[in-house]
Amino acid sequence: MQTKNLSEEGLNFLIKEEGLSLRPYRCAGGVPTIGIGCTFYPDGRKVKLGDPPITREEAIQMLKILLKDFESRVCKSVRQELNQRQFEALVSLCFNIGTSAFASSMVLKRVNVNPNDPAIKQAFEAWKMAAGKPILLGRRVREWRWYNGN
């Protein structure tokens, strides 16, 4: 797949889904997180709960730096051409579940066979669990809608 990057609209979608916290906190999975869903800093250091707060501008800049790896992973993993929204939904999923989980996901497998397969919706929804609870189903439905152009 040709190299793509999130559009401003796609970036705003991801920011809305991840939320913004200027102070470190434990995400639903118990991992220290800061900014816009970042569990590590651009220099590779893991976020710690005792880290100092950051500004909104720093959070957005940090996200943009870290997103490059996720955008690249999606581009390298997908063998079909995607439209911008399909790509952005996959980046959102990859950012949330991690690159290893994305690489072995049924979402990716189905996209690589037919990016317009309606069964991709169920593959997105399978990633609804966090900390043993189905708290991510709403996000997965929104990602599917984004993917599907709605």
Residues near 33 by beta carbon (within 8 Å), at least 6 away in sequence: 21, 24, 25, 26, 27, 39, 47
Q: pLDDT tens-digit profile of 84-133?
A: 999 999 999 999 999 999 999 999 999 999 999 999 999 999 999 988 88
Taking the model in full, what pTM does it have?
A: 0.94
Neighbours of 81 (CB within 10 A): 11
Amino acid 150 reads N
DSSP state, 43?
A: T
Domain ranges of the chain: 8-147
Classify the C-alpha dihedral 80-4-102-93 as positive or negative.
negative
Q: Looking at the domain covering 8-147, what would its CATH class be?
A: mainly alpha
| pLDDT tens digit sequence for 112-125 | 999 999 999 999 99
Query: How many Å apart are CA 74 and CA 45, to the nearest integer?
Result: 23
